[in-house]
Amino acid sequence: MSQRETLVHLFAGGCGGTVGAILTCPLEVVKTRLQSSSITFYIPAVHLSTVNGATVNRVTRLSPGPFYCLKMILEREGPRSLFRGLGPNLVGVAPSRAIYFAAYSNSKEKLNQIFESESTQVHMVSAGIAGFTAITATNPIWLVKTRLQLDARNRGEKRMSAFECIRKVYHTDGFRGFYKGMTASYAGISETVIHFVIYESIKRKLLELKTSSNMDDGDDSVKEASDFLGLMLAAATSKTCATSLAYPHEVIRTRLREEGTKYKSFFQTLSLVIREEGYWSLYRGLTTHLIRQIPNTAIMMSTYELVVYLLDK
């Protein structure tokens, strides 16, 4: 791959990730809150009158749904809280996606010379290498983003800034503190691998269908609006399957990134969450995650493909 082609994939990946992050940030905040162990939403207190006339408040813990969570954030913290962590997200998403797509494209080109060209093995290994590279390089940014999203403050209270968060993490845990949750992110590479294998397979089928339908036409390299719609649907389908299979790592990662918690390592957190909250707790926030991730991935992948197409013309 030439230097120009590498830069094209870097720029396209950054553009795709940035657009998707901005449009779906509120859902990201809701999802992170639902995954957290410190979620503090309760149903209203029930007043009970005792024999001597005293009143006792009974508060029952509720496992809230995404719409209730969204409502409480808006009521207690204001609309701006739905964009908590957007700064680090924008700082991190462009280099993260750029590194990812560049590593994916370069790995795929080299592996095509070793394995059967454009085979499943090539897509799986390329996606794994790309995921590992991007996670290792950008984990500190995502840790800060998660801390900011979990920083629930009522209206009018001063909110923690990204720089304050960075100083606090370093003061409390040192440099190693910025890499909390990285093991869970590595486990999440499986989601990326599944996603790209399915995506590339659907993309190849769509290309074959277009080629067969345009055999009598001239140039079939010109892309139309329907082509980008097909890529969006392919990305949405592949991401839904991958996310549903690999989602528990998301919950474990959020728990590991919480401030001053009892969660220490990947397997310790996994067993502790199951023991204390049950297996279903590993899927807390899944609905919100899917609602966010499907359009985010569709937007990201289609933007990436569009930018690559425009710059290669």
pLDDT given for residue 218 in this prediction: 53
Task: Catalogue the E-assigned strands of 27-160.
Answer: 46-49, 55-58
Split into its structural domains, the chain has a count of 1
pLDDT number for residue 225: 63
For 261-303, the DSSP string reads -S--SHHHHHHHHHHHH-GGGGGTTHHHHHHHHHHHHHHHHHH
* pLDDT value of residue 68: 85
Report the CATH number at residue 148: 1.50.40.10
Q: How confident is the chain (313 residues) per 10-residue block, as mean pLDDT?
A: 73 79 86 80 45 46 73 87 87 80 87 85 85 91 92 78 92 91 90 82 84 63 67 82 89 90 90 91 88 78 82 75
* Residue type for position 124: M
Q: Residue ranges of the alpha helices (H) in 150-285? A: 162-173, 182-187, 189-213, 225-246, 248-257, 266-277
Give the pTM: 0.70
CA–CA dist 263, 274 (Å, integer)? 13
* Structural domain boundaries, residue 27: 3-312
What's the pLDDT score for residue 47? 43
pLDDT of residue 25: 87
Instruction: Give me the pLDDT at residue 202, please.
Output: 87
Contact 274, 230 (CB under 8 A): no
Nearest to 287 by CA among 70, 51, 37: 70
pLDDT at 143: 94
- Specify the pLDDT at position 181: 92
